[in-house]
Structure 1
Amino acid sequence: MLQRIVLINDKYGGFGGTEEYINSLARLLDPLGYETSIIYGKKYPKNFSNPLIREFRLPFLKERYAKAKPYELAKLCGYINKIRPDIVYIHNIFDYRIITAIRKAHLGKIIWYCHDHFFYCLTELKVFNDQQYELPLGKHCITNIQAGRCIERYPLRDLNLNEIFLERKKLLESSFLFDEIVVISKYMESNLIKNEVPKEKINLVPRQVYIPEKIERREEGKNILYVGRVVKEKGVDHLIKALEFIYCNVKLTIVGSGDAGYIEKCRFLAKDLKGKKKGLEIIFTGQKSHREVFEFYKKASVVAIPSLWPEPFGVVAAESLAQEVPVVAYNVGGIDTIIKDGKTGLLAEPRNIKELGEKIGYLCSNKEESRKMGKNGRKFVKLKFDPQKHVDAILRLFS
């Protein structure tokens, strides 16, 4: 019997991790008799299409701080009534009014996948005084932002923080309307529990990871790879500075786009360091497709993840290990879900640039140890994050 699922997200296409997940899920569910639709706010690139997904666009879904108007909510409910889904699967939604409207329009199961920290952190990054922040959402968050103690993903200090706080509290409270909640790391589970989300609704589900059947390693020299957004919270400047503590000739490839001002800062750091270290090569490739990124993995000796913000999981780490490429990362957030220190990679103390550089250098110089960690990593990812394990867990929630 045909089952209908509708996914609701701010974006659709090839934008980032959530969008990649949505397309992957549709491919996995199609052979099982599921018809997948998506209601989204913005598509990137504009000509993107997936023959397995029916598209419905509502531009207001992409807004982070707008309040959905009654006529917009009526359109959303109209689409849900048209699709007649068995399951509504919510992803990145920023307004409690939307969740309330969906609950009224749909009597069946509603599942929420908590991808990041938006529901319980005003800045979305959980970084306070350059440290991972552990407290739940509260009025202290307003004071900290006003004092400039938090890294902000988007400029907030010129906005009405009291109003944003109240909106976010209502969004958090709307989690009671979900039948099931999906998280992919114990770190994310602990954050929801701290913020009084019903524990009995939270399900720790293994995130599916693309695992190629065959490994095509074409390692060239001592190649360090970074994949991700080039923004402050990702710590790319830390990675460039860490090269000073690597005492062999290496090449760093930075794959991704981001904040223009921050990229310029990183380019300046790279140029300055190349002037001091002979034989050092640093390349900025800009944005690449998911398929192109896998070509970079094949040539890498080690993947570096210097994130300052607490990563909910670390998809790049899992993808790297699936290709037998070991990872060196700052030990933040849910990254230890993937990186088992000394077994599948190496963890450095957060913001310890010297330690980060030394551990990257160690794997670049010790090929035998590097290969061993890569092989361990692939075995670990196949055991824990095979796509079928994710589908089985999701289907249990659907039923």
Structure 2
Amino acid sequence: MNILITQENYYPLHHGGTMQFIIGMAEYLKLKGYKVFVYTCSYRESNLFGEVERPEATVNYSDFMVGSMSDPFAVTKYISEFVKYIREKKIDLVFANNHNSLAWIKASKKAGVPVVYGCHGVGLMDPLKRRFLMPNDELCYGFPSIKEASRWFWMENRSLMKKLLGFLLFFSPFIRSTKVRNYWQYKEAVAILNSADARYGNSAITAKLFSNKKNTFGFPLAINASNQMMSNHYYPLVDDDFLKKFNLKNKSYILCPGRLNYIKGQEYMIKALLSIKNKNLKLVFTGNAALFGDKFEQMSAYENRIRDLTKEYNLSDRIVFTGLLDFGDMRKIYSSALVTVIPSVWLETFGYVTIESMACGTSAIVTSNCGSAECVSREDGFIIDRKNEKQISDIINDNESRFVDLGERARKKVLDNYDWSVSGDKYLDIFTKVYSERKSVKVYSN
């Protein structure tokens, strides 16, 4: 069977959680004997365009995918090109991930090929473009009704004139650009996602976002915690020389990974640090303000706020900003942390950093609004309410001596439940089910 995976960003330039999952998927499918194709954005400034043979797949770095993350609706104008590619490569099944999926679901249907949508976020379901975190701090769990959307729209802190103009644009049936928020455009997008032959959500929370429950699946993303022959192998690795670069010692700091953005809630970790009894514990922030690794110096307003809080609370000697770290260094920073805290405040459909940390032998404290909270229990970590610095500090104060043991249990849980060797067949089961259900439709095969 020829399987095509589509994804906006891909190796070797990007290494986020979704990209790690996608390359892991490609490697796993190849190990199982499938022919794998990946269709992604071109990077002409890095001389990455056209078809490239990589160890895990035949990768097409295409100009047609450029901009699909920022404007997924615009990419639909290339549907005919995508249909041509499906037929040329004799694709049997398409696994479409993230924002480009609107175009690829339509293209797959035109080509008569089954398609599975892989959902890793709420971007295509959120007409207010607020990541389902509303002005009154409510979380939205699914595409909002007109009444809900109108109520939240009017709560936004804008002038009356801007609200009136924005409201007219928001409910106009003629808008077809993500540069303008529009209810009907996103309603159409949700209908397209629900029309895929199957939907895979990266957590139980994600699966609940879909109105079409038939062939909708939700379970945690797989991770490589056991196979040194696969990419992104997560395992405990203490490197004292690496730690010295940041004046750190093994198990002497709390790790808070992820880009510095208000949706990630880093300010609550800083506030929690004030109440942690062990004043020798440091707090380490990894990442920067950008989603895909712009220069660390290009700070956002929230990153400035985090740094200002550090100074305001006189914590400059206890808080470390590492900037963006590559995969190898992230494995080291996870491994030596006492505990990892994920204090997200938005509807985080998963949060790959949770199982990355667990795979490296470090337990996690994660907010309940994260999909990855389903990977954590009191036997190996802690689940807390969002925006609650007291819960963070209380847990660390009460369990500092237990974190090493909890970390060992966390790694065992990952090996037993989320490693590709264990959970990989779950994805194959979805693909096989969808493919067999479409046997009556002509598809291309080897």
Q: TM-score per shorter chain, which class? A: 0.7 to 0.9
Q: CA deviation at 1:306?
A: 0.7
Task: Please list the CA deviations of residues 292-329 of structure 1 after superposition, one character each: whole Å capped at 9, or x if unmatched.
Answer: 21010121111010100122123211111112211122
Partners of 1:5 and 1:89 within 8 A in 2: yes
Q: Decide which of 215, 218, 222 is 2:236's aligned counterpart.
A: 215
Is the contact between residue 323 and residue 378 of structure 1 (CA under 8 Å) also seen in structure 2?
A: yes
SS of aligned partner of 1:62: coil
Partner residue, 2:261: 231
Q: Deviations over 1:143-182 (max 9, x none)?
A: 41342279xxxxx969932342111111111134311211
Cα gap change, 1:47/1:157 in structure 2, threshold over 3 Å: closer, same or farther?
farther
**Residue 321 in 1 paired to residue 327 in 2?**
no
Q: CA, structure 1 residues 42+241, in 2 after alignment: closer, same or farther (shift >3 Å)?
A: farther
Cα gap change, 1:250/1:144 in structure 2, threshold over 3 Å: closer, same or farther? same
Aligned residues: 380
Q: Distance in 2 between matches of 1:159 and 1:67?
A: 20
CA distance in 1, matches of 2:415, 2:168: 45
Query: Helix, strand or coil: the match of 2:183?
Result: helix
**Alignment equivalent of 2:309, drawn from 266, 269, 294:** 269
Specify the alignment match of 2:321 in structure 1: 284
Change (3 A) 1:211 1:178: same
The alpha carbon displacement at 1:206 in A equals: 4.3
Cα offset, 1:352, TM superposition: 1.3
Residue 183 of structure 1: aligned partner = 201
Residue of structure 1 in register with 2:380 after alignment: 344
Counterpart of 2:347 (choices 310, 317, 328) is 310
**Residue 200 of structure 1 pairs with residue 214 of structure 2:** yes
AA matched with 1:127: L
State which drifts further: 90-99 or 63-72.
63-72
Change (3 A) 1:372 1:15: closer
Distance 2:69 2:206 in 1: 24
Question: Contact conserved, 1:11 with 1:43, CA < 8 A, in 2?
Answer: no
CA distance in 2, matches of 1:250, 1:70: 50
Task: Give yes or no for the alignment of 1:112 onto 2:149.
Answer: no
Shift of 1:15: 4.5
Unaligned runs of at least 5 residues, structure 1: 151-155
Give the partner amino acid of 2:153: I
User: Once the 2 structures are TM-superposed, how far is the Cα of residue 233 of structure 1 from its aligned partner?
Assistant: 0.1
Counterpart amino acid of residue 356 in structure 2: E
Deviation at 1:70, TM superposition (A): 7.2
Q: CA RMSD in A?
A: 2.9
Tell me if structure 2 keeps the 8 A contact 1:224–1:251: yes
> More relative contact order in 1 or in 2 (CA 8 Å, sep 6+)?
2
State yes or no: 1:87 paired with 2:87.
no
- Give the Cα–Cα distance (whole angstroms) in 1 for the partners of residues 137 and 103 of structure 2: 33
Q: Alignment identity in percent?
A: 22
Secondary structure in 2 aligned to 1:93? helix
Q: Secondary structure at the match of 1:160?
A: helix
Match of 1:138 among 142, 145, 159: 145
Runs (5+) with no aligned partner, structure 2: 159-164, 176-181, 228-234, 240-248, 291-299, 433-446
Q: Is the 8 A contact 2:65 2:75 kept in 1?
A: no
Partner residue of 2:394 out of 344, 351, 358 = 358
Q: CA deviation at 1:60?
A: 4.7
8 Å CA contact 2:75, 2:100 repeated in 1: no
Alpha carbons of structure 1 residues 45 and 290: separation in structure 2 relative to 1, 3 Å = farther
Match of 1:36 in 2: 36
| Whole-Å separation in 1 of the counterparts to 2:42 and 2:266 | 27
- In structure 2, distance between residues paired with 1:51 and 1:81: 23
Structure-1 residue corresponding to 2:56: 52
Distance 2:218 2:44 in 1: 29
Q: What is the TM-score with the length of structure 1 in the denominator? A: 0.86
